[in-house]
Amino acid sequence: MIAVDSSVWIDFLNGRNAPHVRQLREILGTREIIIGDLMLGEVLQGLATERTAHQVESLLRRFEIVSMAGAAIAILAACNFRSLRRRGVTIRKTIDLLIGTWCIEHHVPLLHNDGDFQYMAPHLGRIELPISA
């Protein structure tokens, strides 16, 4: 099972030719892919029209959608934020901290193209899926 972050889906939908997009293409149909509810919201909010949003939602609903928020994850994410801050690391987006914490707690690797996750991994646990160039 692999979680795919909105940063990858957005680049995929925009037709970018980047290592993380190629990695997604490689695992489509061969590995179980999950999308967090938070990621789904991030992807859909950036779309220009309702028609496009419905088309993309239909595409993404082919994968398992999991709830990544909730009281337990929120409390752990806040603890992780304080732990990182003590080490001089500041995560810019709370939503990334929630996603990263969920992936760590559920031992699910994360395919992403987001610097916040790169800062979390060395201190909180390996969440990143290695990208082949």
CATH number for the domain running over 2-124: 3.40.50.1010
Confidence check: pLDDT of 84 > 50: yes
| Coil/strand/helix, residue 98 | helix
pTM for the predicted model, two decimal places: 0.91
pLDDT at 118: 84
Confidence of residue 105 (pLDDT cuts 50, 70, 90): very high
Please report the pLDDT score of residue 130 as a whole number: 55
> In the predicted model, what is the mean pLDDT of residues 120-128?
77
- Residue 133's pLDDT is what? 42
Give the mean pLDDT of 16-43: 96
How far CA 26 is from CA of 12, 41, 67, 96, 131, in Å, comes to 12, 24, 25, 24, 11
| Stronger pLDDT, 130 or 42, i.e. the higher one | 42
Q: What are the boundaries of each domain within the chain?
A: 2-124
Question: Cβ distance 111 to 4 under 8 Å?
Answer: yes
